[in-house]
Amino acid sequence: QKEVEQDPGPLSVPEGAIVSLNCTYSNSAFQYFMWYRQYSRKGPELLMYTYSSGNKEDGRFTAQVDKSSKYISLFIRDSQPSDSATYLCALHSGTYKYIFGTGTRLKVLA
Amino acid sequence: NAGVTQTPKFQVLKTGQSMTLQCAQDMNHNSMYWYRQDPGMGLRLIYYSASEGTTDKGEVPNGYNVSRLNKREFSLRLESAAPSQTSVYFCASTTDRSSGNTIYFGEGSWLTVV
């Protein structure tokens, strides 16, 4: 079983839609959860960082962590064509080890 | 403030050739990493360096060597390139591997081995 599972998409939505991106993981040792956005031919850039269960909001982005279900989500409100990218979830246990999802490709249609 | 800088951005190698990917960070981070990213497989750790003077193998180290030249620089060397090493390579850094800090990536190096 993979340590983290992420639907690869692609996910196509109209401009203005609410987007939900998700990852499930298997190891309860993970304590820190991140979402990265990766544009084509670019490196991943940090979007959201959370610790423990709950919600964290930053502008149009909300990260949600449910440690009891081992499930993390990223919500994008009022999606824009500039949000078209691949979104990677990442988990960290506090050691050198970071585990990354394979990424969900999102396309927001104008 | 450049963050994590990698060179070269694109490279084509013939099988058997060697090359070194260079990485430097200006954030005074202790830990540095090399990952490769392949379609459907996500980011896989090749080598990491927890501090200057130390290096450790990651998930897929075969065919690679690394050097932590100083606190800023961490290079990745392919001694005898193989087509299976065609990939996108990312250098990354963090402040302290024990505190849950976020990891910051360079822009990537696209390598093709023919």
pLDDT, tens digit, for every residue of B33-73?
A: 999 999 888 899 999 999 888 999 999 999 999 999 899 99
Residue A15: pLDDT band (50, 70, 90) is: very high
The whole-number pLDDT of residue A54 equals 87
The whole-number pLDDT of residue B100 equals 59
Tokens found for residue B105: 């990536």
Task: List pLDDT tens digits, range A51-89.
Answer: 878 899 999 999 999 999 999 999 999 999 999 999 999
Task: List pLDDT tens digits, range A21-45.
Answer: 999 999 888 888 999 999 999 999 9
CB-based contacts of B38-41 (< 8 A; 24+ apart in sequence): B38/B87, B38/B88, B40/A8, B40/A102, B41/A102
* A8 contacts chain B (CB < 8 A): yes
Q: Specify whether the CB–CB gap between A87 and A37 falls below 8 A.
A: yes
Dihedral over Cα of A39, B31, B63, B79: its sign: positive
Tell me the β-bridge partners of A74.
A21, A63
Q: Which residues of A touch B99 (CB under 8 A)?
A: 94
**Which residues have C-beta within 8 Å of that of residue B88, sequence separation ≥ 6?**
B36, B37, B38, B108, B109, B110, B111
The whole-number pLDDT of residue B97 equals 53
CB contact under 8 A, A92 and B42: no
The whole-number pLDDT of residue B96 equals 66
What residue in B sits closest to A35 (Cα-Cα)? B102
**Which residues have C-beta within 8 Å of that of residue B82, sequence separation ≥ 6?**
B15, B63, B113
CA distance B49 to A59: 35
CA distance A98 to A105: 21
Chain-centre distance for alpha carbon A62: 10
* A40 contacts chain B (CB < 8 A): no
Residue B33: Cβ within 10 Å count: 27
Q: Specify whether the CB–CB gap between A110 and A13 falls below 8 A.
A: no
Percent of chain B with pLDDT over 70: 95
* Interstrand relation of B10-13 and B109-113 (parallel, antiparallel or unpaired): parallel
More confident residue, A97 or B86: B86
C-alpha distance from B112 to closest chain A C-alpha (Å) = 14
Residue B109: Cβ within 10 Å count: 24
